[in-house]
Amino acid sequence: MRNIILSIIGVLLIVASLFIGNKIAESKNKPKKVVEKVIKTVFIDTVKNVTVPIVIPANGNLKAKQRVELYSEVQGIFRSGRYLFKPGQNYQSGQTLIQVDASEYYASVQSSKSNLYNSIAAIMPDLRLDFPDIFQKWQTYLNSFDLDKTTPKLPELSSDKENYFITGRGIVTNYFNVKNLEQRLAKYAIKAPFSGILTEALVTEGSLIRNGQKLGELINPSVYEMEVALSKEYASLLKTGKKVSLTNLDKTENYEGKVSRVNGSIDASTQTITAYIEVKDVNLKEGMYLEANLNAKEEPNAIEINRNLFLETEQIFVVRDTILDLLDVKPVYFSDSKVVLKNIPDGTIILSKPIPGAYAGMLVKSYTTNLK
């Protein structure tokens, strides 16, 4: 019985081995599956060298070109005027901004003017007798003297005798003392040097104003300037009068300005040069943040592409028939998103959009785009 079982097991092993051997033979003879090559479609453009304008981006805040900080040179009570001294108040050139009570000082000025008048009147009899040829001009001056008006200039002294006589009576000294007091009196009224708007008011009517105290700030809202700092590389390109395009942060408003001034020195710490852009528009306000594009120069025989197409090796991908290749180029200007290149022959086919994993020798299929 044992021999029969062993015989059956042997037969089964032989059959199993034959079956496995046939399967292995069949798998070796089976043809291998062919993997299809993947050809990526790329967007291309044909190079045509043109003159590319080099536009330098910059940004900054607007400041009024005409502005004045108001300080008091006298002391007194701030008197109410025709207009409230409040931020946002408009003033015309020559209008009184602040009137300080000068009644006491005004009385002392009038007293000094009266003393001058009396001193001149006292010498008139002597002039009639000793200097009849100059009497009439001094009489005319005396007749024109008005205590309620600014003291007129003294008659011109035509001879040494007249000079000694008039000076010896203290008239010249009294005259300049009066003029000095009148100059001081004029400082009790602060007038607008130009038409503008009050942006800061630090005092109110009825308050005591002290000598040297800051009172407020006045600006001219019709003309603004924007200060921008640019790389020293553009120092030779910035010229006064160049047109500048400006936009707000939302790109919804466009303005046109011009370079009004360029600093003559370069900041040693930042290696930048400061330029000032003048812009006029009724919708502008001081403190607004604008972005500017300065037309620095024009680069002939060049093209402009996206920076993500430019490789660190200073090369770009080109398409030769259906294969990618690398081409050496010369970058001349970089912006945030663009690069200006030279040394690319006309008619060269380049990529217009980057390809992930691109390499030289890669098989591609071209798709033309019309880039503008």
Per-residue pLDDT tens over the stretch 23-41: 666 655 555 554 456 677 8
Q: Tell me the helix, strand and coil percentages in the chain, rounded to 5.
A: 25, 35, 35
Q: Which two tokens stand for residue 171?
A: 């008239």
> Which of 11-20, 292-301, 316-325 shows the highest mean pLDDT?
316-325
Token code pair at residue 103 = 């009644």
Q: What pLDDT does 176 receive? A: 94
Q: Cα(303)–Cα(51) distance, rounded to whole angstroms? A: 8
Average pLDDT over residues 85-97: 92
Contact 309, 358 (CB under 8 A): no
- pLDDT confidence of residue 51: 87
A 10 A CB-CB count for 148 gives: 6
pLDDT of the residue at 217 = 95
pLDDT above 70: residue 323? yes
Neighbours of 127 (CB within 10 A): 20
Rounded mean pLDDT of 62-68? 93
Residues forming CATH 2.40.30.170 domain(s) in the chain: 56-63+221-297
What are 247's two structure tokens?
A: 């936009």
What is the CATH architecture assignment of 66-101+188-219?
Answer: Beta Barrel (2.40)
Amino acid 235: pLDDT: 74
Distance CA 312, CA 305 (A): 15
According to CATH, where is 2.40.420.20 located in the chain? 42-52+300-368
Residue 361 has a pLDDT of 84
CATH of domain 56-63+221-297: 2.40.30.170
If you average pLDDT over every residue of the chain, what do you get? 85
Query: Which pLDDT value is given to residue 31?
Result: 53
DSSP H helices, the chain, are 2-29, 103-130, 132-144, 160-168, 171-186
Q: What is the DSSP string of 231-290?
A: EGGGTTT--TT-EEEEEETTS--EEEEEEEEEEEEE-TTT-EEEEEEEE--TT--TT-EE
What would the mean pLDDT of 233-250 be, rounded to a whole number? 81
Percentage of the residues of the chain whose pLDDT score is greater than 70: 89
Q: Rounded to whole angstroms, how far apart are CA atoms 110 and 181?
A: 9
Q: What is the mean pLDDT of residues 133-161?
A: 89
* Fold type of domain 42-52+300-368: 2.40.420
Is the predicted pLDDT of residue 53 greater than 90, yes or no?
no
Least confident of 82-91, 216-225, 227-236, 265-274: 227-236
pLDDT score, position 267:
84
Sequence ranges of the chain with CATH classification 2.40.50.100: 66-101+188-219
Query: In the structure, what pLDDT confidence band is assigned to residue 21 with cuts at 50, 70 and 90?
Result: low
Provide the pLDDT for residue 23: 66
Separation between Cα atoms, residue 53 and residue 349, nearest integer Å: 22
Q: Which of 46-50, 141-145, 295-299, 365-369 has the lowest mean pLDDT?
A: 365-369
Residue 372 has pLDDT above 50, yes or no: no
| Confidence grade of residue 294 (pLDDT, cut at 50, 70, 90) | confident
